[in-house]
Chains A and B, each alone.
Chain A
Amino acid sequence: EDQVTQSPEALRLQEGESSSLNCSYTVSGLRGLFWYRQDPGKGPEFLFTLYSAGEEKEKERLKATLTKKESFLHITAPKPEDSATYLCAVRGGYNKLIFGAGTRLAVHP
């Protein structure tokens, strides 16, 4: 069964304090691993898609990496506006997107 586990559940950082979020996955034949950002009361906003081990993608202070069993979302020198819930998901059969529970990130000035 396809499964996604994210850690930690919540993360509190000081502004400028870099860190990483983890996403471990189990899927029969990876056809895409997705990272989304979700602000309170809003729909998830697409960040990255990764398809193969070793792939990396960057956007501003965010960098996503992928291995055969997990993905990391690295946040470099975060700002308060990076505070959000970050969701990881894998594409399963019938193009279903299977999500982890998310990591709630709070960046304090």
Chain B
Amino acid sequence: SQTIHQWPATLVQPVGSPLSLECTVEGTSNPNLYWYRQAAGRGLQLLFYSVGIGQISSEVPQNLSASRPQDRQFILSSKKLLLSDSGFYLCAWTLSSRGGGYTFGSGTRLTVV
């Protein structure tokens, strides 16, 4: 069966420090991968998506970047965190070849102090 792993679950980082959040998918091939951010009490904002290895599309200009070094691995990074980067980060996947649903990871709560 397909599963999605996201870590760490929580992270407290000082302003100006780097960031690396990792997401991996198991049990499928060539998934579409997505990074979302959710501010407190708000909906999900799409940050990046990828339809294949090495292919990244950005939805909003920001202090973050994403990479997809392997088919089932999606990484969210920052060189220098800002206070405004705090939030709940969620990774998700779906298969473009199917009209099915999207599966979300358990999320990372990032607090920049």
Contacts and interface: CB of A to CB of B under 8 A. Distances in A.
B7 interface: no
B90 interface: yes
Interface in A61-109: 87, 89, 94-102, 104
Interface in B51-101: 51, 57, 59, 88, 90, 92, 94, 96, 99-101
A94 B57 contact: yes
Contacts of A46: 101-103
Contacts of A89: 44
Interface residue range, chain B: 20 to 34
A99 B105 contact: no
A94 B44 contact: no
Contacts of A102: 42-43
A44 B90 contact: yes
A44 B102 CA distance: 10
Interface of B: 6, 32, 34, 36, 41-46, 49, 51, 57, 59, 88, 90, 92, 94, 96, 99-107, 109
23 contacts: A6-B43, A32-B99, A34-B101, A34-B102, A36-B104, A41-B88, A41-B109, A42-B107, A43-B6, A43-B106, A44-B104, A45-B104, A46-B103, A96-B46, A96-B49, A97-B44, A97-B46, A97-B92, A98-B46, A99-B43, A101-B42, A102-B42, A102-B43
